[in-house]
Amino acid sequence: MDILLVMCLGILVGRFFFPQKAKKWNEVASLLCTLVLIFSMGAMLGRKEGFLHQLLTLGTQSFLFFLIPTVLSIVAVYILTKRFMKKHDGKDKEENA
């Protein structure tokens, strides 16, 4: 919940105070935060007792439990968005430029 409040605060700052020309720096900050989070996740996993052994023994099952639900989610969302969100097909490259 507090994460959402922080994001809302960011939206207000972006809407009323943040200069448009500093957008690039904000994106760099986002990326750096993500890299730190992923590094921390790796460090946490690396410290976990028996992580590598766990990864090898249950790897195949885990991989399929990741792959099949993910692929089916992609298929379901693609079909639903094509069917019900036609007006906004999302590929609005100009807005991103």
What part of residues 25-64 is at the interface with other proteins (CB under 8 A)? Answer: 26-27, 29-31, 33-48, 52, 54-55, 58-59, 61-64
Q: Please report how close the Cβ of residue 20 comes to other proteins at its closest, in angstroms.
A: 6
DSSP 91: -
Q: Please report how close the Cβ of residue 53 comes to other proteins at its closest, in angstroms.
A: 10
Q: Please report how close the Cβ of residue 69 comes to other proteins at its closest, in angstroms.
A: 3
Phi, psi angles (nearest 5°) of residue 58: -100, 10
* Residue 91 sits in the site that holds other proteins (CB under 8 A): yes
* Residue 20 sits in the site that holds other proteins (CB under 8 A): yes
Which residues are within 8 A (CB) of 82 and not within 5 positions of it... i.e. 6 or more apart?
A: none
Helices and strands (H, E) in the chain, number of each type: 5, 0
Helices (H), 48-58: 51-57
* Residue 15 sits in the site that holds other proteins (CB under 8 A): yes
